[in-house]
Each structure stands twice: as C-alpha cells, then as structure tokens.
Amino acid sequence: MNMSTQKILFLTFKIFLVMAALFYVKAYAEVPLTAESAKPNHSESGSFGVIESEAEFFRIEHVMEGLQVPWALAFLPDGTALVSERAAGAVSLIDFSNGTSERLGGIPEDVYIKINAGMLDIVLHPNFPNNRWVYYCYTAGDEALNTMVVERAIFAGNHLTNRQRIFEALPWYHNAHVYGCRLAFQDDYVFVTMGDRWDMRHLAQSPGTHIGKTIRIFDDGRVPEDNPFVGMRGALPEVWSIGNRNAQGLVVHPITGDLWEHEHGPLGGDEVNVIEKGRNYGWPVISYGKEYGGQPIIHIGRQGNTRYDQDGLTEMEGMEQPLHTYIPSIAPSDMFFYTGSAFPGWKGNLFLGALSGRHLNRLVVDDREVLHEERLLEKQGWRIRLVKQGLDDFIYLGTDEGDIYRLVPQNK
C-alpha cells in the first residue's frame, strides 16, 4: 500500500469519526434532563398494579426520587445504601425504609462532570464489616485533561476518611466520553473496566494503555505478579484483558466464579462476555455493530502479521466471540445474578439495566450459555441505569430520570 493510499484511508477514517460523533450527540448523548422529561412515569403511589412476567408476578414500589443520574448502589449491612450520582459528582446515603437521604461527606472535590463523566461505580470490600473499606471510581481532571480513577476510603458513619487512590487510567485525555467504569471483587482482587474514550478506540488493542481494557489489581492497588502482561515490554502490568469497548456491567458469578461483563457496541452489537486472563475481546477489529452513521466498522491497523483493513468483521482468529449480543442495541448498564428467595422463578438469572432499550433485561443462563431473554418493564419506558439485589432479596432499579424503584412479590 503506497503512502497516498494510506493517507486517504486515514482521512476517510477521520471523516467517519466526525460523522459518528455528530450522530452520537444527536441520538445517544446523555443531555441534561428537562423538568418534564425528569418526571417519573407514575401518577401516584401504587398505580402500577401487579405485573405478570414469564416466571413471576410482582409489584413496583417507588422508593426515592430527586437523584442526579444514580449510577450505582451498594447496600450497607444495616440495610441503608450508598448511591453514587454521576451528574452530581456525589454519593448519597439513603434509608429506603423511611425515604431519607443525605450526602456523604469526604467525597473527592476534583470530580469532573460532563456527558459520561462524573461519580461512577461504588462497591464495598468483601470484608467491609471488619475493615469498612468503600471503593469507588470517578472522573478526575478537567476539560483539558481527565481520566478515570479508582479510590478507596473508610466509611465512618456519614462521611469517608483515609482516602487512597489505587488506580489511575492512562493516558489522560481531553474528551468526556466512555470511561466505563465498573468494579468487581474476587477474593483480594479488584477488577476495573475502562472504556475506549470514544475516539481512542485504536488503543483498545494495545496493552500499553488502559483504554478499552479490563484491569486487575489487588485491593490496595498493587499489581499481581501473575497478571498476563507483567514483564512484557511496553505493556501496562494492570491489564487483564484487551479489546473491550465500553463495559458498563461487571459481576462475578456466585457459583462458578467467572467474571461476567457486558459492553456497549456502537450502533448495535452490545455484548455479554466472560472475561478471562489475557484474552482479546476484539474491539475495534471485530464487532456485530456498525458505525453510528450506519457504515461498517472501519479498521486501519495490524494484528500480529495480519492486516485488518477489511471493514465489518465479526470474527478473527485469536479474538473472543461474545456469549450474547443485542442487535439493535439496548445500551446495557449494570447487572447482577439473582440469588435471593423472594423471586424463586428468577433464581440464577442475570439481570441487566437497559438505557436506550428502556427496560429491565432478564437472561436465563446455564454455565456460559444464554438460553432465553425476557424484557421487563417496557411499558414504563425508564432508562434503567442501576440494578441491584437488596438485602431483603427484592430488586432495586435506578433510572436516569433520578428515581429508584423496588420490585417486590405481588403478595408483599
């Protein structure tokens, strides 16, 4: 390929990126909610009635409102909850039993808030009752340069103390798109997802950055010596997997211990994966989605000795296939495996929130096979951002409109 041809390819690629960005802003960007759009889709308490699904009958309870894009929820042992609010750059301490809420003190002051940026995931250390460690990720910096960071701090009633930064994604960059970030514990390890920052997707294939990766570190930020890229020249040692686009769901299977992840595709091609050590999940070389303008995904680069100039690839040797795809996209966000007793018909099922799909997604799985999909709450039309099983075994949902709902059995 001569130099002029290469220049034409790169120019074409840049043009498509601009077109895609315009389409994204118009159709998919998260714009500020107006007073009208922020109104929850209910007229009065209890107006939902009993809802029949394929495996359960349930009711919806509205338990909190007025939050600013509730992103994640972590239940404390006493039943209260920490809820991160992306658009506020804050964390609220909420008691769902009486509907009270207060802002948690000690939160970082350098939270950058814009589009996808803000306060993101929040989880408790598995040994929280004894060590009181809370882990959270957020976007640090400003319009000039920003990135996703992970910190931990000790929970001391209504505030955090002893803040420690344990991870910082590299490189810092200027836009405010596609950070991830989800956190999951497995023993003493913390897994962290990092997105491709929208127009840095070519770096998802390079272990020399954290862009488009799953990260694995110890709970204090140290790097495990058995991470797959430790000692590799030019690679960052925290990297666990490569080729992830925008992972917004991460959970460890309660029985098998597998690390399940889902990520947004571009236009179509959302994926559910099991993340394994050193594996390549393909982005942006392979995808079941398209550019936001409808064109095939454009690839300009090299994988080993193989060029991938061909557009629209869905598979390639050495790259993993997803367990499940969504075409068209549902824009999944947050997920968990249901392990409770309140809904026996749902036990072992995987639940995902859907943003553009505006529903609660239920997957019946067997080991690593997805057997069946059901879409719940489609009539409500909520952008479901967070999903979590409570200590009461009920299911809690947070919406971009600022509300939290609880699903309870029909006889409760």
Averaged pLDDT, 321-332: 98
**pLDDT at residue 48, rounded to an integer:** 86
| Other residues' Cβ atoms within 10 Å of the Cβ of residue 410 | 12
Question: Are the beta carbons of 185 and 218 closer than 8 angstroms?
Answer: no
- In the DSSP assignment, the letter for residue 290 is B
In the prediction, which pLDDT does 44 show?
Answer: 38
pLDDT tens sequence across 389-402 = 999 999 999 999 99
Report the share of the chain in percent with pLDDT over 90. 83
| More confident call, 47 vs 380 | 380
pLDDT bin (cut points 50, 70, 90) of residue 300 is low
Q: How far apart are CA 52 and CA 49, in angstroms?
A: 10
Residues near 154 by Cβ (< 8 Å), separated by ≥ 6?
Answer: 131, 132, 133, 134, 160, 161, 162
Cα distances (angstroms) measured from residue 195 to each of 131, 264, 353, 403, 405: 30, 10, 18, 26, 28
Unique residue bearing structure tokens 């209504």? 158
Which pLDDT score, from 0 to 100, does residue 298 have?
Answer: 79
pTM (2 d.p.) = 0.89
Q: What is the pLDDT of residue 177?
A: 92
Q: How confident is the model at residue 301 (pLDDT cuts 50, 70, 90)?
A: low
Q: How far apart, in whole angstroms, are the C-alpha atoms of residue 320 and residue 371?
A: 19
Domain range summary for the chain, segments of one domain joined by +: 65-329
Other C-beta atoms closer than 10 Å to the C-beta of 347 total 14
Top-tier CATH class for 65-329: mainly beta
Q: What pLDDT shows up at residue 312?
A: 85
Environment class of 77 (CB within 10 Å of its CB; exposed 0-12, middle 13-18, buried 19+): exposed
Q: Mean pLDDT score of the chain, rounded to an integer?
A: 90
The 10s digit of each residue's pLDDT in 117-158 is 999 999 999 999 999 999 999 999 999 999 999 999 999 999
Q: Which amino acid is at 206?
A: S
Strand ranges for 238-300 from DSSP E: 239-242, 247-252, 259-263, 270-275
DSSP characters over 154-223: EE-SSBEEEEEEEEE-SS-BS-----EEEEEEETTEEEEEE--TTT-GGGGG-TTSSTTEEEEEETTSPP
pLDDT at 412: 78
Task: Determine contact, residues 347/340, Cβ cutoff 8 Å.
Answer: yes
Q: Is the pLDDT of residue 3 over 50?
A: no
Residue with tokens 């998919």: 28
pLDDT at 22: 42
Residue 184, pLDDT score = 99
Query: pLDDT at position 308, please?
Result: 52
Q: What is the pLDDT of residue 154?
A: 99
Statement: residue 21 has pLDDT above 80:
no
Task: Determine the average pLDDT of the residues in 181-197.
Answer: 97
Tell me the mean pLDDT in the region 251-263.
98
243, with CB counted inside 10 A (0-12, 13-18, 19+), is buried
Residue 101 has pLDDT above 70, yes or no: yes
Distance CA 91, CA 27 (A): 29
Which of 386, 330, 399 has its CA nearest to residue 37? 399
pLDDT tens digit sequence for 31-77: 333 333 334 444 334 568 999 999 999 999 999 999 999 999 999 99
Give the three-state DSSP class for 5: helix
CB 141 within 8 A of CB 109: no
